[in-house]
Amino acid sequence: MRAILQRVSSASCRVDNTTTGAIDEGFLVLLGIEDADTIEDLEWLAQKIANMRVFGDDTGLMNKSLSDIDGNILLISQFTLFASTKKGNRPGFTRAARPEKAIPLYEAMIKQLSTLLNKNIQTGIFGADMKISLVNDGPVTISIDTKNKE
- pLDDT by residue (tens digit) across 42-57? 999 999 999 999 999 9
- What φ, ψ does residue 11 adopt, rounded to 5°? -160, 150
Rg of the chain on CA atoms, in Å = 15
3 state DSSP class of 59: coil
pLDDT at position 96: 86
Beta strand extents in 48-130 (DSSP E only):
55-56, 62-64, 72-77, 122-123
Catalytic residue among 38, 80, 115, 141: 80
d(CA 17, CA 58): 39
pLDDT in tens, 15-42: 999 999 999 999 999 999 999 999 999 9
Q: Write down all domains in the chain, each with its CATH number in brackets.
A: 2-145 (3.50.80.10)
Whether 141 is a known active-site residue: answer no
* Alpha-helix residue ranges (DSSP H) falling in the chain: 39-51, 66-69, 99-117
